[in-house]
Structure 1
Amino acid sequence: MRARPISHGTLECFPAGLVDDSGEPVHAEVSAVVYDGKRLILGSDKPIPGEGRSSVFSVDIDDEGRPHPETLGYYTQPLIRSAIKYEDFALTADGRHVLATTGFDRISDRDHSLNAYNHLLIWPLGDPDRVQVVDPDPRDNVEGSLELRQRLTAAIGVPYYKIEGLAAIPGERDDGMLLFGVREQGQHFDDFEYVCRVVGAHYRVNDSGALIFTDDLREVYRFDPGEFDAVEHVCGLSSLEYDPYNHRLYLMTSFENESEGLDSIGGYLWLLSLEAFARGEAPALVEDDEGNTLVFEHKSEGLAVLDRDRLFVAYDNDRELALGSVDGDRDEKHACEAPWTLLKMVE
């Protein structure tokens, strides 16, 4: 399978010149995106400060799939605003609800100060006012999906991990299976390895719109990008996306060496039929038009399926401003802008 870039661009995610409480510039770091059939919903893994703003926002797209910046609107529901470090979005397998996960990469044993990094949220399509926390702590007034965190820790098997992928696929029972992609794992945030693991469990959504797990989370898939000769960088999983039109999964991996700038960041795109996924087979590495491995110029973090053959890719370059070939008129983006690419998949 090959992917052909249709369009590139940048999206202004908040007003230029925005600063945080310490006076430092705020950077657009889009790490999550999903298409709900009408608009793109995007999420930043860093807070976007200010009344009337949040790190989750949406934009309409034109017929070609390009975002319309003038339609940008923020999701300001308290639950959505309180969660920190969004890493991936998904639709439930029936397409009726939106799911949003944070990274689950930090927690405090002493207090609840880091609970905001541990959230899985769900809301009905088009109705974020009805957002709920999935698998919350049973104690009153304790924020976060802390019961889910215990399930994740048991399934992943190490004290430190980072969730960067989320997808829901049809299942043989209930409403389907919910998949979490693991990018990092280890003993501590400064003692880890990059991985491409998927843990999952079956689920259902009840009449109140709450997501209920119906069995235990467990490892359901893993692969090693380093076993592919065409992969020249150490990668970790950065996004999962279910393609309901072709009944397959897209996996995205990214690499980064923050000390060396744009030349040392990027990513790869992979695909896998649901049958091959169930059998644990290796994914196929997507190629470009010339039959070479497709290598993203920027750190690919968010992926949305628009239709049968078009994909929207969002990049999170952290504080790297270089645009490369995304914009032929400029060398650097503004801090408020997130680069993106529109792809068409071809046989």
Structure 2
Amino acid sequence: MAQVRITQQGTIHCFPAGLKDASGKLVNAEISAVAYDGERLLMASDKPIPGEGRSAVFSLPLDSSGPDDSQLEYLTAARIRQAVKYEDFALTTDGRHMLATTGFDRIDSESHDLNDYNHLLIWPLDEPDKVQVVDPDPRDGVEGSLEFRQKLDAAIGEPYYKIEGLAVVPSDKGDGLLLFGVREQGNSHDDFQYVRRVIGARYALTDSDNIEFIEELHDVYAFDPAEYAGVRHECGLSSLEYDPYHARLYLVTSFETEQAGEEVIGGYLWVLSLADFHAGKAPTLVKNEAGEVLEFEHKAEGLAVLDRERLFVVYDNDRNYALGSVDARDERHACEAPYTLLTLT
């Protein structure tokens, strides 16, 4: 049985309070991705954070007292600032490079207006200014991972989809198996199904610190949460995270629905060994220390393995400001992002 206990909760100030976008609307922290490099947390909002010297991607140190947002630093390389709707990060298996994916949930075939939503990026871990686009369009001046999007189209086989998970696991060939978690797929953004589907392909690192796929993207894994007692809501995949300490994979699913006219959000955490993952076996639904299903009260969108015993969870609650048990206050400020630190028991 996989069990965890909540050891810390709180909020992170992601940008100055009262920050507004160009249209005068209050900017909202919607944290959808998190990674940990051994010293600092790397986070991203799936909405832009405007202003000179800012971007949707930022890092901050993590110490024994928790994340320290007084030392928050934005990653401001042009390509990092250009990409829109970040959904997940992944460290390469050697820990030397960071990968980041956007949602790939929209494209304009008649123009390049929506290319910013279609980016797979890579950079040397401590050198984000050396960021590169993976599988870029070969035409000069056309931005985005448009060659990669064609591979996604072929592998997923649906007109519409949304990528929300990213992880790298060891592989018998190349430098790793790069996994992409599909949350939604269907005919369009308003005609889709929630899924828990993982596609992937082996890759090799190039001498120029980029990656090349050495096989076609293909289906790797899928599961159905509805088969589990204690899962009360339909949910889609929202994050993937490889745990190198225990050779296993974590999967996060989240839900957003209505009951009696009220919005209900939350999520679940799942885990399975790499051997079971490759064998297509069902994951284990993580429980709390009381032995009950761990149901997040917020929309869990990102997970980072901190060490052998601790996990860090971030939430994208969209315009839902309720804090619940995270804080004594009823509501967060728009600039704040809630988080939870879990310890394995």
- Please tell me the TM-score bracket, short chain as reference: over 0.9
- Amino acid corresponding to residue 109 of structure 1 in structure 2: S
Q: What's the offset of the Cα at 1:258?
A: 6.4
Could you tell me how far apart the structure 1 residues matched to 2:334 and 2:236 are?
Answer: 25
- Amino acid corresponding to residue 132 of structure 1 in structure 2: Q
Does the 8 Å contact 2:254/2:300 carry over to 1? Answer: yes
Could you tell me how far apart the structure 2 residues matched to 1:267 and 1:23 are?
Answer: 32
Change (3 A) 1:36 1:262: farther
Does the 8 Å contact 1:25/1:335 carry over to 2? Answer: yes
Change (3 A) 1:259 1:141: farther
Could you tell me how far apart the structure 2 residues matched to 1:208 and 1:28 are?
Answer: 34
Asked if 1:196 corresponds to 2:187, the answer is no
Partner of 2:9: 8
Does the 8 Å contact 2:155/2:217 carry over to 1? Answer: yes
Could you tell me how far apart the structure 2 residues matched to 1:249 and 1:258 are?
Answer: 30
Matches within 5 A, 1:313-332: 313-328=313-328, 330-332=329-331
Structure 1: runs of 5 or more not aligned: none
Partner of 1:181: 181
Q: What's the offset of the Cα at 1:63?
A: 2.5
Partner of 1:134: 134
Could you tell me how far apart the structure 1 residues matched to 2:262 and 2:290 are?
Answer: 23
Asked if 1:60 corresponds to 2:58, the answer is no
RMSD: 1.2
Partner of 1:206: 206
Does the 8 Å contact 1:262/1:320 carry over to 2? Answer: no
Could you tell me how far apart the structure 1 residues matched to 2:168 and 2:222 are?
Answer: 17
Could you tell me how far apart the structure 1 residues matched to 2:317 and 2:247 are?
Answer: 30
SS of the residue aligned with 1:275?
helix
Deviations 1:174-230 (A, max 9, x none): 101000000000010100000000000000111110111000000000001111121
Partner of 2:52: 51
SS of the residue aligned with 1:314?
strand
SS of the residue aligned with 1:43?
strand
Could you tell me how far apart the structure 2 residues matched to 1:40 and 1:273 are?
Answer: 25
Could you tell me how far apart the structure 2 residues matched to 1:42 and 1:262 are?
Answer: 29
Asked if 1:333 corresponds to 2:344, the answer is no
Partner of 1:345: 344
Partner of 1:101: 101
Deviations 1:220-259 (A, max 9, x none): 0000111112111000000000000100000000000268
Could you tell me how far apart the structure 1 residues matched to 2:112 and 2:170 are?
Answer: 35
Deviations 1:286-336 (A, max 9, x none): 0001000000010000100000110000001001111001002x1000000
SS of the residue aligned with 2:324?
coil
Matches within 5 A, 1:1-347: 1-63=2-64, 66-257=66-257, 264-328=264-328, 330-346=329-345
- Amino acid corresponding to residue 307 of structure 1 in structure 2: D
Could you tell me how far apart the structure 2 residues matched to 1:269 and 1:48 are?
Answer: 28
Structure 2: runs of 5 or more not aligned: none
Normalised by the length of structure 1, the TM-score is 0.97
Does the 8 Å contact 2:256/2:263 carry over to 1? Answer: no
Normalised by the length of structure 2, the TM-score is 0.98
Deviations 1:11-44 (A, max 9, x none): 0000000011111100000000000111000000
Deviations 1:251-287 (A, max 9, x none): 0000002687986100000001000000000100000
Could you tell me how far apart the structure 1 residues matched to 2:307 and 2:261 are?
Answer: 33
Change (3 A) 1:260 1:58: farther
Could you tell me how far apart the structure 2 residues matched to 1:93 and 1:164 are?
Answer: 20
Deviations 1:70-101 (A, max 9, x none): 11000000000000000000101111100000
Does the 8 Å contact 1:88/1:164 carry over to 2? Answer: yes
Change (3 A) 1:285 1:143: same
Could you tell me how far apart the structure 1 residues matched to 2:147 and 2:70 are?
Answer: 39
Change (3 A) 1:283 1:54: same
Structure richer in strand, relative to its length:
2
SS of the residue aligned with 1:41?
strand
SS of the residue aligned with 1:61?
strand
SS of the residue aligned with 2:149?
helix
Aligned length: 344
Could you tell me how far apart the structure 2 residues matched to 1:114 and 1:209 are?
Answer: 26
Deviations 1:138-166 (A, max 9, x none): 11111000011011111111010000000
Could you tell me how far apart the structure 2 residues matched to 1:178 and 1:171 are?
Answer: 9
- Amino acid corresponding to residue 8 of structure 1 in structure 2: Q
Does the 8 Å contact 1:262/1:322 carry over to 2? Answer: no
